[in-house]
Amino acid sequence: MCGREIDFIRAGLAEDWAVPLGPDCDAFEQELENFVGGTKRVAALVSGTAAVHLALVACGVGAGDEVIVQTFTFCASSHPVTYLGAVPVFVDSEKDSWNMDPDMLEAAIRDRIAKTGKTPKAIIPVALYGMPYRIDRIMEIADRYGIPVIEDAAEGFGSTFRGQTLGTFGRYGVLSFNGNKMITTSGGGALICPDEASRNEIMWYATQARESYPYYQHEAIGYNYRMSNICAGIGRGQMTVADEHIAHHRHVQSLYEELLKDVEGITMHTNPGPEYDSNFWLCTATLDPELKVKGQENAYRQVVTGAVGGAAGVTHATSTAVTDCQPNDNVEAMRMALDAAGIESRPLWKPMHKQPVYRNNPAYTNGVSESLFATGICLPAGPWVTDEQVRYIVATIRESIL
Ligand SMILES: *Cc1c(COP(=O)(O)O)cnc(C)c1O
């Protein structure tokens, strides 16, 4: 918390807006609409996952349908497809942006039509670590086949492609305000909608899909997904520092780029061209498989307890230290070396098509996401990371190399 969150919450509570609805929800949505450029309408929801879910509902996704999802992502991009009884079809990434490969997307669409006789119901590209996807090409292909695009910009709050804010290109755009995202409402998300009518439809689904009678009358299945007024108050406080946060993430990224540029075997993930302006929500790097890191012969010797990266929630205990798809030994050794120095890093996200729960899903792959998962690492980035700490992190990285 660093903005004026407490002021907004106190003012809301003083006027008895502890109930879910209230003026801060409306104001927060208005502020978000302005932030993304003023041409769209925004619905504030309980999470980014809920936003993905409702966007799919609004695109008419139902049991047996297929939805194309970037495989290199966090599970919240694809799980809501499964909630609806539909099938995520995974598409791999291109090398430079790390996000959905447009050529592979088109090949996948053609192949699904050939194999099933049906066109996929939606396409979900993901701004992984904040990096924009090749949205001009993705939109061109999607429009040609008449498939709506749901942009998962949960990690890409404030990132732009050719100067336009992510989340405003597709029919819907997903934002997340989870505790670890660019801005937080302690837990929350939003859906960027094309117009007032579609925002109303989303809000209707988000508030249990009630018909207008003096009693509860339901003609569709709804959800309890509306953001509470208290969370929106936190969001309003965060909006006062959003630009600062993004600028700081970009600053930390540029410092890593500068300090790591002459370290052989370590490559920072950077904006691949002038069209891209990542928010650098997370700063990421890849390690050359030939790079030797101290202690790598001992990587994966121990079963991990709890989730790597301090993820909130409950994890199942596991009995094996390894899986058939995991980061290289030198990456795990680097993670352990940083950890020993009090620095939290973590692997890149494991591609969905390699997750056991999706083992039977169709996947169109080119090796890019698997290779990134094997070689990549997320370095500390965030509003509280100082220049001095970045220097300490880079020094620790240098020391850990043999
Ligand atoms: C965080 C995240 C989401 C979901 O957001 P929650 O608010 O945590 O539900 C969706 N997609 C991606 C890529 C994310 O990183």
Per-residue confidence (pLDDT) for residue 22, from 0 to 100: 79
Average of per-residue pLDDT values in the chain: 94
| Residue 189 CB–ligand 1 contact under 6 Å | yes
Give me ligand 1 centre to Cα 174, in Å: 8
The neighbour count for residue 301, using CB atoms within 10 Å, is 10
CB within 8 A of 384, min separation 6: which ones?
none
**Residue whose CA is at the smallest distance from ligand 1 atom 2:** 154
> Quick check: 167 pLDDT over 90?
yes
Give the confidence band of 312 by pLDDT, cuts at 50, 70, 90.
Answer: low
pTM across the whole model: 0.94
| Residue 165 CB–ligand 1 contact under 6 Å | no
11-25, 51-65, 136-150, 318-332, range with the lowest pLDDT: 11-25
| Residue 130 CB–ligand 1 contact under 6 Å | no
CA distance 2 to 238: 7
- Residue 61, judged by CB atoms within 10 A of its CB (0-12, 13-18, 19+), counts as buried
Q: What is the pLDDT of residues 198-213, one digit of tens each?
A: 999 999 999 999 999 9
* Mutational test site, ligand 1, from 53, 77, 126, 348, max ligand atoms within 8 Å of CB: 77
Residue with more model confidence, 369 or 2? 369
Give the confidence band of 62 by pLDDT, cuts at 50, 70, 90.
Answer: very high
Per-residue confidence (pLDDT) for residue 340, from 0 to 100: 95
| Residue 77 CB–ligand 1 contact under 6 Å | yes
| Residue 184 CB–ligand 1 contact under 6 Å | no
* Mutational test site, ligand 1, from 176, 185, 234, 281, max ligand atoms within 8 Å of CB: 176
Measured CA angle at 239 (ends 234, 240), to 5 deg: 105
Calculate what percentage of the chain has a pLDDT beyond 90: 86
Give the confidence band of 384 by pLDDT, cuts at 50, 70, 90.
Answer: confident
Per-residue confidence (pLDDT) for residue 17, from 0 to 100: 62
- Residue 234, judged by CB atoms within 10 A of its CB (0-12, 13-18, 19+), counts as buried
Residue with more model confidence, 44 or 11? 44
Per-residue confidence (pLDDT) for residue 308, from 0 to 100: 58
Per-residue confidence (pLDDT) for residue 7, from 0 to 100: 81
Per-residue confidence (pLDDT) for residue 20, from 0 to 100: 57
Q: What is the pLDDT of residues 260-277, one digit of tens each?
A: 999 999 999 999 999 999
**Edge-to-edge strands of the sheet including 66-70?**
122-124, 66-70, 87-91, 363-364
| Residue 155 CB–ligand 1 contact under 6 Å | yes
* Mutational test site, ligand 1, from 178, 279, 350, max ligand atoms within 8 Å of CB: 178
Give the confidence band of 3 by pLDDT, cuts at 50, 70, 90.
Answer: low
What is the phi-psi region of residue 63: left when phi exceeds 0, alpha when psi lies from -120 to 50, beta otherwise?
A: beta
**If residue 396 lies in a helix (H) or strand (E), which one and from where to where?**
helix 387-400
Let me know how long the chain is: 402
> Quick check: 107 pLDDT over 90?
yes
CB within 8 A of 14, min separation 6: which ones?
none
CA distance 31 to 349: 31
The distance of Cα 22 from the centroid of its chain, to the nearest Å, equals: 28
**Edge-to-edge strands of the sheet including 164-165?**
164-165, 160-161, 276-277
> Quick check: 164 pLDDT over 60?
yes
- Residue 226, judged by CB atoms within 10 A of its CB (0-12, 13-18, 19+), counts as buried
Q: How far, CA to CA in Å, does 17 sit from each of 7, 23, 50, 226?
A: 14, 8, 23, 14
On the CB side of 188, CA atoms within 13 Å amount to 26
Give the confidence band of 5 by pLDDT, cuts at 50, 70, 90.
Answer: confident
Give me ligand 1 centre to Cα 15, in Å: 32
| Residue 277 CB–ligand 1 contact under 6 Å | no
Give me ligand 1 centre to Cα 208, in Å: 22
**Residue whose CA is at the smallest distance from ligand 1 atom 4:** 48
* Mutational test site, ligand 1, from 45, 73, 74, 98, max ligand atoms within 8 Å of CB: 74
Give me ligand 1 centre to Cα 48, in Å: 5
Q: Closest by alpha carbon to 159, among 105, 97, 102?
A: 97
